[in-house]
Amino acid sequence: MKTIDTPTLRIAYLEAGPTNGWPVILSHGFPYDVHAYAEVAPILAEAGARVIMPWLRGFGPTRFRSPETMRSGQQAALGRDLVELLDALGLERAVLAGYDWGGLASCVATVLWPARVSALVSLASYDVIDVERLGHCFAPSLECVVWYQHLFQLERGRECLDRHRRDLCRLLWEQWSPGWQFDAATFERTAEAFENPDFVDVVIHSYRFDFGTAPGDPALEPLEARLRTKPKITVPAVTLDGAEDPLKPGGTADQTDMFANLHEHRTIAAGHNLPQEAPGAFADAVLTARRMAQAAGLPAR
């Protein structure tokens, strides 16, 4: 494990591959951590990548540098964290790849700072949250799947996450990846990341902001305003769906019009935790995105 300071965070991360390799940032989701990429990273490192796997804000050993900083989990904060990480590492640009919160962070960074991104890999395609849309209901079949998001709007939800974080998160693993047979050791390795002192605050704020029930960080409002205009992805991208992902029924192949550069969409036989369930397929998507960037003449770093 390594750490590096950004203006906001002391980010803890794992690194694999040559230090002079082409850079790729692999971002995890909720409720996961960097170990989701345990089998993806060696494949990319063998292909010459410098693989950076950060713990997101509120997870694992990553810490806020100031007690005064708002423990925001909103999308602009997650995207800005990635760009500040690139700055701290001295990287002009990188391939960004992620799923769940990590896909959100990667998409947000790409639409707001496209010059910093050589290519994108995103589960669930254009994964930028439409906060206005979340103020209205979905079909009951999907509302049932996102029960935890409704729970988190209440103080009893904060209490549940605080007191029963491992049980709640393990239940989400099971529900979101119905075909994935993981053992207790695999879950516990990741569950250690949920003991971060800011985990509960960041997670609760994330889902309350998304539902429009909690204000965001005022300093991030200009970024959120830009996101509300739904900017298109302008870098080469490979987008993914898990065929058994209950959070995205029917998949996201219909979002192709949000991609204004080279773009390929794939459906993989997996659930929501695609990098851990199908690491070879996720790694191949990153390598394909890298080749797309080369074809488009975008520099690697």
106-136 pLDDT tens trace: 999 999 999 999 999 999 999 999 888 877 8
Identify whether 101 is part of a domain.
Answer: yes
Identify whether 57 is part of a domain.
Answer: yes
Identify whether 301 is part of a domain.
Answer: no
| Residue 300: per-residue pLDDT | 67
Number of folded domains that form the chain: 1
DSSP label at 13?
E
The CA-to-CA distance between both ends of the chain, in Å, stands at 22
| Distance of alpha carbon 224 from alpha carbon 227, whole angstroms | 5
| Distance of alpha carbon 243 from alpha carbon 269, whole angstroms | 5
Backbone phi and psi for residue 170, each to the nearest 5 degrees, phi listed first: -65, -40
Render pLDDT for 15-58 as a digit per residue (tens, 0 to 9): 999 999 999 999 999 999 999 999 999 999 999 999 999 999 99
**Is the predicted pLDDT of residue 213 greater than 80, yes or no?**
yes
Q: Please give the model's pTM, rounded to 2 decimal places.
A: 0.96
Degrees (nearest 5) of the Cα angle 2, 39, 5? 20
Identify whether 177 is part of a domain.
Answer: yes
What six digits make up the tokens of 14?
């794992």
DSSP string for 22-36: EEEEEE--TT--GGG
Q: Which domain holds residue 60?
A: 2-296
Q: What CATH number corresponds to the domain at position 59?
A: 3.40.50.1820
Identify whether 87 is part of a domain.
Answer: yes
CB atoms within 10 A of CB 19: 7
